[in-house]
Amino acid sequence: MLCRIIAFMSVAAVNVVLSFEDARRVVEGQAELIRASQVGEGRTESVELLAAAGRILFEPVLADRDIPPFARSTRDGYAVRSADLSRLPATLAVIGEIRAGEQFDKIPNNLGSGQAASIMTGAPVPTGADAVVMVEYSSQLDAKSGARVEIRRGVDAGENIVPRGAEARAGACLIERRARMNAAAVALAASAGKAQLQVYKRPRVAVLSTGDELVDVETTPGPTQIRNSNSYSLAAQILSAGGEPVLLGVAPDESQGLRRLIDDGLKADLLLMTGGVSMGRYDLVEQVLTEMSAEFFFTGAKIQPGRPIVFGKCGAGSQSRAGRATYFFGLPGNPVSTMVTFEIFARPVLEALTGQSARKLQFLHARLKREISVKTGLKRFLPAILSGEFEDSQVELVAWQGSGDIAATARANCYIVIPEDRERIAAGEWVAVMRSDW
């Protein structure tokens, strides 16, 4: 089905309006093609460990030794032979103390039957011992010398010990190539001694807002003008997805000027345009791209907000790219539509360009606080407030004036996702939620 859509769509700018799911699959398919064609050459850089947080790994991180490198006690207590505790309470002779970091030559060798060694969390377990009893279940019998201990609870063999290499063997892959370095990955790289990491360079994402009514943030708008805000929400989203935004400013609703700026934008790794993709007489983005021999994958999705979204690839219009086509999105100009369509369609393509491995779009679920009534036929992403705590998540729509209402969206922290066949959702029902407070 998808192949047919793509084959059909690669002809010209026709009117191809897909369901949300089909449009998303087209985007995911193109993201896979991007990954398949990615070569390392010139696309990577070496960064210090701390600077690697949030970056995408180019080389896998391997364990430089077994983890843990020795059988590690997970408790403060006594290293014992579990068989010695078959009858309780048991009295054992304490033959030494093992601290975390203790050198091997100071550790009692081959713990015998009837013996125990006092041991701390993170210390190496002596040979001969097969378990650790927590200190809470013991009493020292000779208070001064500590030479004998009474144990009140039994242990299974292996209890409170992580065997050498149980977490990873030397040479094993700890963090895969294309992983995004989160806090745990940074910790793991530190534990493997990686002070420097080879990561993908950030892709450059050109941002072009279109519209004769727009002025930039430094300019005082005339009575019927508005400030360009989409370039800034997009720049923030691009940064959060691992890209480097390149703001190209505002293009006029006039073919020649628009074409010049689009051509400029196609020199980047990805071009995001906002506005000019609806049905108005001055919505020229699709027309100009068609003149530039762009390939269109779709020109609309059955969603609200964001229906007139355009996704395609263009290279022919740009001499400087010598045949290399650049992906572009024409995002609808209404500020909330721009933000939503970036999240659900542009983000996967950008993440592929960053080198990151594929991620499925996943929604949380929460109980609806107040009934919702909508018309059927479109998948909706409506700004909402997720509240509650612990296991009790609740969500309700924010009052808004439609997809131009940035103020309402700024009060929201998520979108409620409403399936296209639902007309009424009662209070108390579980609904899908997409977070927006990255």
Question: Which residues of the shown chain bind ligand AMP in the complex (CB under 6 A)?
Answer: 209, 211, 213-214, 226, 228-231, 274-276, 278, 280, 283, 332-335, 404
**Least CB distance from residue 437 to ligand AMP, whole Å?**
21
Q: Which two tokens stand for residue 202?
A: 């950030």
The pair phi, psi for residue 339, each rounded to 5°, is -65, -45
The residue number whose beta carbon is nearest to ligand AMP equals 333
Closest-CA residue to 288 (of 248, 328, 324) = 328
Among 211, 306, 312, 348, binds Mg ion (CB under 5 A): 211
Would you give the distance in Å from CA 207 to the centre of its chain?
22
Q: Which does 30 bind (CB under 5 to 8 A by kind): ligand AMP, Mg ion, none?
A: none
Q: Which does 358 bind (CB under 5 to 8 A by kind): ligand AMP, Mg ion, none?
A: none
Select 226 or 410, whichever has its Cβ closest to Mg ion. Answer: 226
**Least CB distance from residue 328 to Mg ion, whole Å?**
17
Q: Which does 230 bind (CB under 5 to 8 A by kind): ligand AMP, Mg ion, none?
A: ligand AMP
One-letter amino acid identity for 319? Q
Select 274 or 304, whichever has its Cβ closest to ligand AMP. Answer: 274
The single residue listed with the structure tokens 């997970």 is: 74
Q: Which two tokens stand for residue 182?
A: 């989160």
Select 58 or 342, whichever has its Cβ closest to ligand AMP. Answer: 342
- Environment class of 302 (CB within 10 Å of its CB; exposed 0-12, middle 13-18, buried 19+): middle
Select 171 or 280, whichever has its Cβ closest to ligand AMP. Answer: 280
Select 143 or 279, whichever has its Cβ closest to Mg ion. Answer: 279
Q: Which does 209 bind (CB under 5 to 8 A by kind): ligand AMP, Mg ion, none?
A: ligand AMP
What torsion, rounded to 10 degrees, do the Cα atoms 319, 320, 324, 330 define?
Answer: -80
What torsion, rounded to 10 degrees, do the Cα atoms 93, 96, 100, 101 define?
Answer: -150
Q: Which does 198 bind (CB under 5 to 8 A by kind): Mg ion, ligand AMP, none?
A: none
Q: Which two tokens stand for residue 162?
A: 């992580």
Would you give the distance in Å from CA 59 to the centre of its chain?
19
Candidates 86-94, 206-214, 393-401, 412-420; binding stretch for Mg ion (CB under 5 A):
206-214
The single residue listed with the structure tokens 């209402």 is: 405
Cα(244)–Cα(239) distance, integer angstroms: 6
**Least CB distance from residue 339 to ligand AMP, whole Å?**
11
330 binds Mg ion, rule: CB under 5 A: no
Would you give the distance in Å from CA 310 to the centre of its chain?
24
**Least CB distance from residue 333 to ligand AMP, whole Å?**
3
